């Protein structure tokens, strides 16, 4: 644990993931036979908290667990990963669960039943406002009530605490919410939703740069577009950069976006530049897809550094020390498609 550093605080969901591996993801009305079933601790909030803890940075979580057997197990898992749970309390009723199907190349689809996560209310956040006021940065997602996210953004804004919003799963946001957000981190599907106000599912014809510009006009200070196997696109205060992906053999992409957000926050809190932090996040996400499960896949700092070193050996660096294997900006190629 680092001393003298303000902890990162994650306000978000805690789920038990029920994961089935299958030959392919079924279409509507289709039944497929699964190969293997596993249960893993998950939830976008808890995953981001574990990502941070595994990288060795102090992290506190504000969230709710159910009063069922899953709740007890999820608490033990989070504690053993090193997450401070002083903001996590039990709520009567079931814990959050996620039904996940993972196909052979790691692609997935997820249905979340929120359970206790609906009890992460604005009033509950107020009970733990002290934790938020003392944060170096606050991370949240959209698996808790939207009015809570709005309330949290107001608290962070009032106390000058930078907030990162991972808009997953995508849903309509209250007006002005994004003006209180420092970092907005959609993936391609989510970016399409916010660029077109929910009208389109893909960004065909729009470059990542045009997408980022459109999102910046809605208020956040910085955009990080998560482009899966094609890397990421960073846009903020005079910086625009495409970050090339690191090639790995993906076996399960579940929570790669959570690894990315956690690592980006850690990079910034450790004093890395925005570019270096984004690169660190790309490497953490790449490492996470090489292991199964959500929280069990989160890398430790040495693993991320090693992945970056290996990527540098194969790609070279530009004048800013960023890895540049590509000089022109890629086009979107549809949901999660690799070029
Ligand atoms: O981002 C991955 C997570 O989404 C899973 O762990 C699942 O619980 C859902 O919240």
Percent of the chain surpassing pLDDT 70: 89
Q: How many Å lie between the centroid of ligand 1 and the Cα of residue 116?
A: 15
Q: Is 17 a catalytic residue?
A: no
The CATH number of the structural domain formed by 8-315 is 3.40.1190.20
Strands 137-141 and 108-113: unpaired
What does the pLDDT look like over 80-139, one tens digit per residue?
Answer: 999 999 999 999 999 999 999 999 988 899 999 999 999 999 999 999 999 999 999 999
The C-alpha angle with vertex 5 and arms to 130 and 321, in degrees rounded to 5, equals: 130
pLDDT tens digits for range 294-313: 999 999 999 999 999 988 76
Which range (107-121, 152-166, 200-214, 270-284) has the least confidence?
A: 200-214
Domain ranges (residues) in the chain? 8-315
- What tokens appear for 169 in the block? 């799963």
The CA distance from 146 to 128, in Å, is 18
> How much is the average pLDDT of 20-26?
95
Partners of 241 in beta bridges? 234
Q: Are 150 and 53 in contact (CB under 8 A)?
A: no
Which has the higher per-residue pLDDT, 264 or 196?
264
User: pTM of this prediction?
Assistant: 0.91
Question: Which residues, judged by CB distance below 6 Å to any ligand atom, belong to the binding site of ligand 1?
Answer: 13, 15, 17, 42-44, 47, 98, 110, 112, 143, 254-255, 257-258, 294
The percent of residues in the chain predicted with pLDDT above 90, rounded, is 83
Mean pLDDT within 50-72: 98
Rounded to the nearest angstrom, the distance between the alpha carbon of 306 and the centre of ligand 1 is 26
Report whether pLDDT(334) > 90. Answer: no
Work out the mean pLDDT of the chain and round it to a whole number.
90
């Amino acid at each position: 644990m680092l001393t003298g550093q303000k902890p990162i605080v994650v306000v978000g969901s805690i789920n038990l993931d029920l994961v089935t591996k299958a030959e392919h993801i079924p279409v509507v009305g289709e039944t497929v036979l699964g190969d293997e079933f596993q249960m893993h601790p998950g939830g976008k909030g808890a995953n981001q908290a574990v990502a941070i803890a595994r990288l060795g940075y102090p992290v506190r979580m504000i969230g709710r667990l159910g009063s069922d057997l899953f709740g007890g197990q999820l608490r033990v898992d989070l504690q053993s990963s090193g997450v401070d749970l002083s903001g996590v309390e039990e709520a009567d009723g079931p814990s959050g669960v996620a039904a996940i199907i993972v196909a052979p190349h790691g692609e997935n689809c997820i249905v979340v039943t929120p359970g206790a996560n609906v009890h992460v209310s604005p009033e509950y956040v107020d009970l733990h406002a002290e934790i938020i006021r003392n944060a170096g940065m606050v991370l949240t997602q959209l698996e808790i009530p939207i009015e809570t996210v709005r309330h949290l953004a107001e608290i962070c804004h009032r106390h000058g605490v930078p907030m990162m919003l991972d808009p997953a799963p995508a849903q309509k946001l209250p007006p002005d919410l994004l003006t209180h957000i420092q970092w907005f981190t959609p993936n391609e599907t989510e970016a399409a939703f916010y660029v077109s106000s929910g009208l389109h599912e893909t960004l065909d014809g729009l470059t990542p740069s045009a997408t980022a510009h459109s999102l910046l006009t809605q208020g956040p200070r910085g955009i990080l577009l998560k482009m899966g196997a094609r890397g990421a696109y960073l846009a903020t205060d005079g910086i625009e950069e495409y970050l090339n992906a690191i090639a790995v053999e993906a076996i399960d992409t579940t929570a790669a976006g959570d690894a990315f957000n956690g690592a980006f926050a850690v990079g910034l809190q450790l004093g890395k530049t925005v570019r270096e932090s984004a690169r660190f996040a790309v490497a953490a996400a790449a490492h996470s897809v090489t292991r199964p499960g959500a929280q069990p896949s989160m890398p430790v700092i040495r693993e991320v550094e090693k992945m970056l070193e290996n990527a540098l050996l194969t790609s070279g660096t530009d004048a800013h020390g960023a890895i540049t294997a590509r000089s022109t900006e890629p086009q979107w190629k549809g949901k999660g498609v690799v070029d």
